[in-house]
Structure 1
Amino acid sequence: MQMKLACMAAVALCVTALGAAPSGPVDLNGSWDFRFEEGKSIEEVARTDFAATDAMCVPGCWDALPKWRFKRGTGLYRRTFTLAEPVANAWLIVDGMGLRGDFRLDGKPLGVWPYPYGRLEIPTGPLAAGEHTLFAALDNRPDWSTMKLARTFYDFYLYGGFYHGVSLAFDNRRLFVRTRDYRTGLVEIEAVDFGKADFDATLVFDGVHEVPATFRGGRARVAVPGFRLWSPEEPNLHTVALKAAGERPLPATRFGIRTIEARAKKLWLNGKELFLKGVNRHEQNVEFGSATSPSLMLRDIQIIKGLGANFVRGAHYQQNSLFLDMCDEAGLLVWEESLGWGNGQVYTRDGGTIDEFKDAAFRAQQIEQTRQMVRASFNHPSVVIYAFLNECASDRPEGKSLIDELIETIRKEDSGRLTTFACNIIDKDIGNANTDLVAINAYPGTIPMTPGDAAELKRQVKARFDSAAQRFRRLYPDKPIMVSESGTSAVYGRHDPYAAVQTEEFQDEYLKDIFEVLWANPDYVGFAIWQFADTQTHHRNCGPRAGRFWGMSTAGIVDAQRNPKKSCETVKYYFSRK
């Protein structure tokens, strides 16, 4: 077997040291034994005693590396760690994976988990002192028979591997913080997974302010001393810790005080009218796949903020907690959505052989992944919209029923966010009856690519967005309307003074046309450009609707290396006017 990476020794020492007092998570990142089985499923090859052929770094995507580039199959992982003392309970934390995972600890099955991109918290039960062996088998094949949530037609590459790391936690208690009155700083604290629901405690805000609290049914309401509101202009953050008799200390929870509302055709943040101006962003990099680094996340946020944006749509899956931490700190508003793309549409139904909306497992997993998304990002004030099922068949009764179930799932958590989905069946949609705001995806003149001359393209853009606003305003007189996607491709460095398609000049012209229409129409309350950066779509295994030049979407206003295209200056100009 190849030599293990040097980081393994450091991680192993860290685990041993932390094992003596497991008050915080144990970092299981680093180098793992690895073997890749091309074309094989978990069920065919998952053996804990597999013969390793390589080392694989966690986090990391194997199909972004030269040896297994764009390969589909199952990756087998194994590593050991040591606990100095026994623990009564532990939870394996997987911060995003692709696509389906089978986990085993000391040979004990921990289940097969079918939730790509999501944060998993897998209970292990009690663990003895000494050495333990953790095994994982990750299958990155979008095979309908075993994987319902990730499909071959999705217009972005689905990577295999651990996206943002693995750890072992010893405490699953948490605090959920709900803003109840932004004017007075009144919040409601929910104690989740505590041993009791009714108890007295002391809440410590920002490390210094102690406030007595009486919890009943697991909840208590208090006013935050010296509270400051969170907003894009002033992203103030607070912390709260809990002290109670008979309870172990709990690390402080960070939160922000803010309220988002949809009423009277507008969006309102802390009582002030809000216009969303931003971009769609994939958590992806052409070199490292979905295992993006903190530096790349911060770089993207700085570029997005530098455009004058206040908003990012996390397309099309649950967002990483570190990225959301950075958005909290930067004052960047976030739309977060559960995994989905084109579900139930005629062009995605495999000739009629598969209808996701009529599949019980697909529907159940959509509901569960959406619930877990909400709970994972509950305390991030930057997240103001929860969504799902991008561009689904919202003209079908089966689609509407699932949309309504997902809306109810989100609202049941009482997280203080708005709910919607990105709708591209504008003229026949029936799915927006119960959303908080209408969000539309439209590409007039570019999907299909029929722009005509400059005057014709302007006409198509105006006709589409004006008629969309008219229809939804007639159906929903008081509901806000935004554009969640529009844009077009441009190959970085490709120029033409006559603005041929795929050139930077054409993208710039198209975005100007969109801005002029949306900025002049009072029915629109936001616009998210498709998209921020060029991304990997497919390589060679793609259908007629998924093919792209070089297997890439070049619709970014920056390229894959974050070099700005001509349209960036146009975006800055129009964002500065709102």
Structure 2
Amino acid sequence: MKRFKLVFFLGLLVCSQYVFAQNKQRLTQNWEYLKGDLGGIWEAVRPVKEGNPESVPLWEKVNLPHCFNALDGVDPDVNYYQGPGWYRTLLDLKNPYTEGRSLLHFEGAGQKTQVYIYDKKVAEHVGGYDEWTADITDAVNAFKKTEAFQKQFKGRVPLSIRCDNSRDLEMIPSSLSDFNVYGGLYRYLNLVYTPKVAIDKIFAAASVDAKGSLGKLNISGRLLNPEGIDTVSLKIEVKDPEGKTLGSWENQMKAFNGDKTLWETSVKNPRLWSPENPVLYTVQTTVTARGTTHVHTEKIGFRNFEFVKKGPFMLNGKRLLLRGTHRHEDHAGVAAAMTEGMIRQEMQMMKDMGVNFIRLGHYQQSRIVLDLCDSLGILVWEEIPWCRGGLGGEVYKEQGRRMLTNMIEQHYNHASVIIWGLGNENDWPGDFNEFDEQKIRTFMKELNDLSHKLDPSRKTAIRRCDFCKDIVDVYSPSIWAGWYRGIYTEYKEASKKEFERVDHFLHVEWGGDSHAGRHSESPDKALSVVQTGVGTDERDGDASLFGGSARVSKDGDWSESYIVNLIDWHLKEQENMPWLTGAAYWPFKDFSTPVRPDNPVPYMNQKGVVERDFTKKEAYYVFQSYWTKTPMVHIYGHSWPVRWGDAGEQKMVKVYSNCAEAELFLNGKSMGKKKRNSQSYPAAGLKWMVKYQPGKNEIKVVATAKDGKTVSDEIVQEYQTAKWDKPARLVLEKLSEKDNIAVIQVKLLDKNNILCLDARSYITFGLTGDGKLIDDQGTSSGSRKVQLYNGRAVISVDLNKGKSVASVKADGLPSAFVEL
């Protein structure tokens, strides 16, 4: 691995490596935030008399993590904010080490960050996703000698941080990217205390042969030693998953700059890390100098992987079909500022869906995510945010090199990581007046060489840049069968064709959008107008809802019904493609994007199998039925309250299950048993044609696994036989109220008061009075402007223990109101 020396200047250490310390605390409480800029740092720290009405600007109390764009990223009426914002707090510093160092460890902040102690700038960083530290020791010591320390701040130290996510063509990622470039302290910020000499980074290269008989461990390290202390004692211990020490090494040596190889050892017959058994070993490193000790701990795993040339993916000597998805750091109500609890819930939901692989799109993600991938057993493709727009100048390229270096160094020890991604959709121009394919190739090759130099053990990859596909180890082309181009039954043929064009093929990004709660009795209707045999890739303009050739993304109904069919077909085919390395559905969760203002939920990419607030769509259970082993069964239609058709008409009921057999009951009567067969489409053969009775229908299924265990599921659906005319009026009603939160629903009726079940009109909720709409969530039930799903839509209202009047409006229809 190429090593980079630390640079020390003016007593300040700014480095892009993270620190594990014995004394570390998250700085989450007692922050103030100001949207916009200041005239200068003095405005953040000048003495202010409490209650003075002339004190401006006004700061908002917040907790970290915090994102500028927690709500406006999905506000249907504005562009999301891109600009500066300020944070400030007071630090009560109590470093336990004599003459120790005090560090601020940023797990990620967007996108350009400046750090001030009182009125002195002590650090700055460009890049919203890599970790970095700022040594504030000398600035703090200097401030403690001032009169302001005791009188104005009463022994505490003012910390001010400026974040800025302004548009900047010479910064990665491009604002043309199909995701928001968020601003703020949206990942955790830690205060870390270290002694004079500490471990900065340990690189533990764990490898094992395909048979798993001999594991090798090569350990090198890097020190934090700003004062240049010359002699240190080092000790390294390797512990098995139960904490038993397998071996140790210790030595007293001259302190070193840069990186130094410390110890090479072997582990006989190590327990192998895999998605089914993600066992982790521990490397514990202790450094002692001048009577103080610092301990650094890393988790590692032994595994052997291979992308077979023109063949499948192998893990520990056996074929493993990579069953994957994608993740953006984005959530309802907080945007990028997801807490550790939210992240844990999301990753566990993925694992419960059967995922064994994830592509982290399109930037380095939180250390919490990588730790969970290690412990849950999820293989990782992680990439830098060189995404769309073209290639900038030297400042742009230097950021690319730096972000790649930081990503690899910071996540080097994670057993889950198998691929370093170098870019995404780099064939997409727009940011610069020049788009030179050869220059892009040259820089891509530079990044590829840098990645292999930093880490020879992992593969490199890109997605959708055909003129660079020969540079990287693994290539993913654009295949969107049944959405942006073609129909989904072309998937296998299209994949095989692309597989044959490269040595190592992996299909990431497939699927399509679905508006949660919208269902269809004829979901595949749009396929009849789509041209086949012309490719299944995404092309310029295909994501638009207007113009161009017929495509499901434009002409389809965006129903959950269609997407489960598309997913079902893809998963069925993947079961029978022995050459396939794997595929990753795009994405796991709906996320916000500035380039999709006209979607059913404005500014949302709605391709997720769960909504932005973790609400599961029907598609989640289709994946479970193919990918999981714990017995499960799910009747399609839990969010489909009303079906429709003629009296006596046969309707298909689909059941998704991983069990061997299932029996369906309609209104208490058995509709017979069916055997599951993954190649019987749809629903692996678990489908029944039944006749609903008008009105209420009770549907139940009992599924039996091979070991005889049973699981069941049931739903209630209305069956509407009345035919509706054109929409005539809106009706607004309160559905429920609990804990001072009311749920209201709008229905679209015809002149005969019949529900218009295929209505897809945009409606806009409003509210006046004491309460507040719970909107700007980016969900089908948390957006004030939203398309109807089967003639209805809902939203919640915080009543605030008062009275309000809710309204709803739609073009060409009288508005409706309800008192709350």
Q: TM-score, normalised by structure 2?
A: 0.58
For 2:163 and 2:332, locate their aligned partners in 1 and report how far apart those are by CA, in whole Å. 20
Check 1:110–1:226 CA distance in 2 against 1; reply closer, same or farther (3 A cut).
Answer: farther
Between the aligned partners of 2:286 and 2:496, the Cα distance in structure 1 is 55
* Structure with the bigger percentage of strand: 2
In 1, Cα distance between equivalents of 2:99 and 2:206: 35
- Distance change >3 Å, CA 567–CA 90, structure 1 → 2: same
What is the letter of the counterpart of residue 238 of structure 1? Y
Aligned-pair distance for 1:260?
Answer: 2.7
Query: Deviation at 1:370?
Result: 1.1
Task: Kindly tell me the number of residue pairs found equivalent between the two proteins.
Answer: 518
Corresponding position: 1:138 with 2:168: no
Aligned partners of 1:295 and 1:178: how far apart in 2? 30
Whole-angstrom CA distance in 1 between matches of 2:329 and 2:177 = 15
Question: In the aligned structure 2, how far is the partner of 1:231 from the partner of 1:54?
Answer: 46
Aligned to 1:250: 295
Worse-superposed segment, 493-502 or 483-492: 493-502
In structure 1, which of residues 430, 445, 461 is the aligned counterpart of residue 491 of structure 2?
461
2:35 is aligned with 1:49: no
Deviation at 1:571, TM superposition (A): 2.1
> CA 1:306 to 1:243, structure 2 compared with 1: closer, same or farther past 3 Å?
closer
Q: CA offsets, 1:179-210, max 9 Å, x none? A: 13353232011122266999874422335424
* 2:353 matched residue in structure 1: 307
Highest RCO, 1 vs 2 (Cα 8 Å, sep ≥ 6): 1
Structure 1 pair 110/432, CA: closer, same or farther in 2 (3 Å)? Answer: farther
State the SS of the aligned residue for 2:101. coil
* Counterpart residue number, 2:452: 411
CA separation of 1:552 and 1:340: change in aligned 2, threshold 3 A: same
Aligned to 2:411: 377
Secondary structure, aligned partner of 2:389? coil
Are the structure 2 counterparts of residues 76 and 497 from structure 1 closer, same or farther at C-alpha, using a change threshold of 3 Å?
same
Cα distance per residue 1:530-577 (max 9 Å; x no partner): 111111112xxx4xx775331111111122232332323332334367
The within-5 A match list for 1:69-80 is 70-80=80-90
> Residue 29 of structure 1 corresponds to which residue in structure 2?
28
Aligned pair 1:123/2:135, yes or no?
yes
Asked if 1:387 is matched to 2:432, the reply is no
Cα distance in 1 between the residues matched to 2:451 and 2:506: 20
Confirm or deny that 1:537 pairs with 2:593. Answer: yes
| Distance in 2, Cα, partners of 1:432 & 1:199 | 47
Equivalence for 2:510: 486
Bigger CA drift: 319-328 or 389-398? 389-398
Q: Deviations over 1:34-85 (max 9, x none)?
A: 2211xx5x89889543755221221111321589973332211111212245
Aligned to 2:442: 401
Q: Distance in 1 between matches of 2:619 and 2:94?
A: 57
SS, match of residue 480 in structure 1: coil
Alpha-carbon deviation of 1:304? 1.5
Equivalent position of 1:507 in the other structure: 563
Q: Which residue, out of 54, 63, 67, partners 2:69? A: 63
Question: What is the one-letter code of the residue matched to 2:105?
Answer: I
Question: The residue matched to 1:97 in structure 2 has which SS?
Answer: coil
2:425 partner SS: coil
Per mean C-alpha deviation after superposition, the further-off stretch among 366-375 and 509-518 is 509-518
Check 1:481–1:333 CA distance in 2 against 1; reply closer, same or farther (3 A cut). same
Whole-Å separation in 1 of the counterparts to 2:73 and 2:286: 51
User: Does the alignment pair 1:270 with 2:282?
Assistant: no
| Structure holding more helix per residue | 1
- Decide whether the 8 Å contact of 2:34 with 2:59 is kept in 1: yes
Distance 1:269 1:462 in 2: 23
Which AA in structure 2 matches 1:137? Answer: R
Counterparts of 2:463 and 2:42, CA distance in 1? 38
- Rounded Cα–Cα distance in structure 1 between residues aligned with 2:368 and 2:409: 15
Return the alpha-carbon distance in structure 2 between the equivalents of residues 68 and 33 of structure 1.
24
Q: 1:515 to 1:225 in 2, by over 3 A?
A: closer
In the TM superposition, residue 506 of structure 1 has moved relative to its aligned partner by 1.3
Indicate yes or no: 2:370 matched with 1:336: no
Q: Is the 8 A contact 1:56 1:62 kept in 2?
A: no
What does the per-residue CA deviation read over 1:365-404, in whole Å, with 9 as the maximum and x for residues that have no partner?
Answer: 1111111011111221112211032111299222222221
| SS across alignment from 2:584 | strand
Do the aligned partners of 1:557 and 1:568 also contact (CA within 8 Å) in 2? yes
SS at match of 1:367: helix
Q: CA deviation at 1:461?
A: 3.3
Q: Quick one: structure 1 residues 217 and 323, their matched pair in 2 at CA, closer, same or farther if it must change by over 3 Å?
A: closer
**Partners in 1 of 2:307 and 2:410 — Cα distance?**
23
Counterpart AA for 1:104:
Y
CA contact under 8 A between 1:312 and 1:335: conserved in structure 2? yes
Separation (CA, whole Å) in 2 of partners of 1:415 and 1:325: 22
CA distance in 1 between partners of 2:505 and 2:575 (Å): 13
Aligned to 1:12: none
Q: 1:81 maps to what in 2?
A: 91
Across the aligned residues of Structure 1 and Structure 2, the Cα RMSD in angstroms comes to: 3.1
Alpha-carbon distance between aligned partners in 1 of 2:224 and 2:72, rounded to the nearest angstrom: 46
Q: 1:105 aligns with which of 117, 120, 131?
A: 117
- Quick one: which amino acid aligns to residue 326 of structure 2? N
Q: Which amino acid aligns with 1:422?
A: R
Q: Distance between the aligned counterparts of 1:267 and 1:490, measured in 2?
A: 31
In 1, the alpha carbon distance for the partners of 2:208 and 2:108 equals 34
- Partner of 1:303, secondary structure, is helix
User: How do 1:214-363 residues align onto structure 2 when only pairs under 5 Å count?
Assistant: 217-224=260-267, 227-243=270-286, 246=289, 248-264=293-309, 265-344=311-390, 357-363=391-397
TM-superposed deviation, 1:168: 2.5
Quote the offset at 1:290 in angstroms. 0.7
* Contact kept? 2:34, 2:58, Cα under 8 Å: yes
Amino acid in the other structure paired with 1:103: V
Percentage of matched positions with identical amino acids: 23
Residue 618 of structure 2 is aligned to residue 566 of structure 1: yes
2:498 and 2:505 in contact (8 A); partners too: no
SS in 2 for 1:464: helix
> 1:30, 1:257 → 2: CA distance?
39
- Give the direction of change, closer, same or farther, for the CA distance of 1:110–1:138 in structure 2 (3 Å limit): same
Report the secondary structure of 2:272's partner residue. Answer: coil
SS at 1:64's partner residue?
A: coil
> Which residue type is aligned with residue 250 of structure 1?
V
1:181 aligns with: 208
Shift in CA distance, 510/43, structure 1 to aligned 2, threshold 3 Å: farther
Q: Work out the CA distance in 1 between the residues paired with 2:135 and 2:389.
A: 31
What TM-score results when the alignment is normalised by the length of structure 1? 0.81
Q: Which amino acid aligns with 1:76?
A: W
Give, in whole Å, the separation in 2 of the partners of 1:521 and 1:388. 27
CA distance in 2: counterparts of 1:68 and 1:36, whole angstroms = 17
Once residues 526 and 68 of structure 1 are traced to their aligned partners in structure 2, the CA distance between those partners, rounded to angstroms, is 33
Give 1:95 deviation, angstroms.
1.0
Paired letter, 2:133:
E
Shifted more, 90-99 versus 551-560: the winner is: 90-99
Question: Partner residue of 1:92?
Answer: 104
Q: Distance in 2 between matches of 1:521 and 1:527?
A: 11
Tell whether 2:536 aligns with 1:495: no
SS of the counterpart of 1:168? Answer: strand
Match of 2:775 in 1: none
| Separation in 2, partners of 1:496, 1:486 | 21
Residues 535, 244 of structure 1: CA spacing in aligned structure 2 closer, same or farther, 3 A cutoff?
closer
Task: Quote the Cα distance in structure 2 between the aligned partners of 1:489 and 1:459.
Answer: 18
- The aligned amino acid for 2:26 is D
Counterpart-to-counterpart distance in 2, 1:68 and 1:483? 29
Contact persistence 1:64–1:159 (CA under 8 A): no
**Which letter does structure 2 place at the counterpart of 1:233?**
E
In structure 2, the CA distance between the partners of 1:559 and 1:82, relative to structure 1 (3 Å rule), is: closer
Q: Is this contact kept in 1: 2:73–2:603, CA < 8 A?
A: no
Aligned residue in 1 for 2:800: none
| Counterparts in 2 of 1:406 and 1:26: CA distance versus 1, 3 Å | same
